[in-house]
Chain A
Amino acid sequence: MTETSLLAEIRQAVSESLDRLDGVIALRRSGTGVAPHLFQRGDDLSELVIEPKYPLMTVVSRLHKRFPEIRLGVVARGCDERAYVEMAKRNQIDPQRLTIIGFACTAEEAQECYCSQPYPQKLVVGQPAPAGPVNPLVAEYDALSREERFEFWRRQFVKCIKCYGCRNICPECFCEACAMEDAAWVEPGLLAPPFPTFHLIRAMHMASRCVACRECERTCPAHIPLTVLYDLMRRDMEALLGYVPGADIDAEPPLSVKLDKVPLRQDVGV
C-alpha cells in the first residue's frame, strides 16, 4: 500500500467514526509542522497526517480526565495502542470511551524503532510490516564487562541536562508527584552526579510500563540511548514475571500484585 492510499484510508475511517464519536484525536498539519488535534464533525480531514510519530495517548488521557463524558477516537500506531493498554489499566484512559483507529507502520519505521510489533492488535488500516531487529546494543550487551558498562553509561549520562524531556514525552509517565523531582531522591542543581540516580529511578519505573515507543530517545536533546536500558529491563520483566507491557489489557501490573497471581519464573536466590 502506498503512503497516500494509507492516509486516504485512515481519513476515510476517521470520517466514518466521527458519526458516532465526539471527536477523533490525530495529528494535523499546522504551519510548517504538525500538532495533535481533535477532529470533529465537519472538520477538513485533508489536514490529517500521521507523521512524524507522536504519542497521542497522553492527549486522550488529558481529555478523558477533563471531560468525563466525552467519547473519543484516536488514530494509533502499534506503540500508541500498547501505551493505551498500560494507561487504561492504571486508570489514565477509560476504555469504554475510546475507539482506536489503528494503522500499521511501514517496514522502514519498524526497523528504525527496533519495533517488535509495528502494528496495533486492532488493525483498521494497512498491512502489518515485519518486526524490526533487536537493537544491536541490547543484543550484544551481556558480553560487556562491568567496567565497559559503567564507562558506556557514564559517557551517556554526563550529557544529560536534566531537561526532563524523556519523562514529559513518555505516555506512561503520569504520576502527579514525580520521584525525579523530589529532592530526597535526585539532588536539585546537580548535573550528572557520579551516581546516576535520575536515570536509574526512571529505568526502574519503566520496567513494568515501557512499551518501547522510543519517544524518550527521540526527544532527548543529548541523544542518550535510553531505550537500551529500558529494553534490558523489559527483557528481564518478561523473563522474571512473564510480563510484556502493552500486550494484554487484562494482565495486572505485576509488581503490585501478590506472588500467587504473578509468580516469579526464575530463581532469584533469596
Chain B
Amino acid sequence: MVEFEPRIVAFMCNWCSYAGADNAGVARLPSPPNILPIRVMCSGRVSPEMVLRAFRAGADGVLVMGCHLGDCHYDSGNHRTLKRMPLLRNLLGYVGINPERLRLVWVSASEGPRFAQVTTEFTEKIRQLGPLSAEVSHD
C-alpha cells in the first residue's frame, strides 16, 4: 500500500506570508513539498468558497496565511479573515468534516523559520488525520 501523502493548499498573502515563504527558501529551511502555494493579495481575499473549492478539488488540508494583526497592507483585511475562518471551521465540524483540516496562521515576511515550522506541523497533522476522501466517503 502506498503511504498517504497529504495534499495541502496554502493561501498566502502577497505582503507577508508569501514573502515569509520566500524567506524560508532563501534561508534554505526545509518545508514540506506537500504544500501547494496560492498567492492572494490579502488573506481577507480568501473567501469561504475558495477554501471549500480546495477541499472539493481534493485538498486534505487548507492553510490560510496572512499578516499579523496590525501589519495588514490593507489595514484590516486580516481582521475579516480572523472572524471568518473560525466560523468556517465550526461549520466544517457541524457537517462532520474535521475542522483541524483548516488552519489560519499569521506569518510575517521575516518569519521564514516560522513558515517552515507551521507548514511542517500542519502537514504532519493532516498525515495523522488521513485523507479527506476517507472522511467524506460512505458505503
Contact = CB atoms under 8 A, between A and B. Distances in A.
12 contacts: A150-B135, A153-B95, A154-B138, A184-B49, A197-B52, A200-B52, A203-B91, A237-B87, A262-B83, A268-B85, A270-B105, A270-B106
A233 B87 contact: yes
A185 B50 CA distance: 7
A249 interface: no
Interface of B: 48-49, 52-53, 55-56, 69, 75-76, 79-80, 82-88, 90-98, 104-106, 133, 135-138
A146 B79 CA distance: 29
Nearest to A229: B94
Contact of B137 (A194, A201, A203, A254): A194
A4 B84 CA distance: 47
A246 B97 CA distance: 30
Q: Chain B interface secondary structure, helix, strand, loop or mixed?
A: helix
A177 interface: no
A197 B56 contact: yes
A256 B95 contact: no
Given A185-B49, A233-B87, A149 B82 contact: no
B83 A149 contact: no
B16 to A, nearest CB: 14
Contact of A185 (B53, B86, B137): B53
Nearest to B83: A255
A254 B82 CA distance: 12
A69 interface: no
A241 interface: yes
B53 A197 contact: yes
Contacts of A262: 83
Nearest to A200: B52
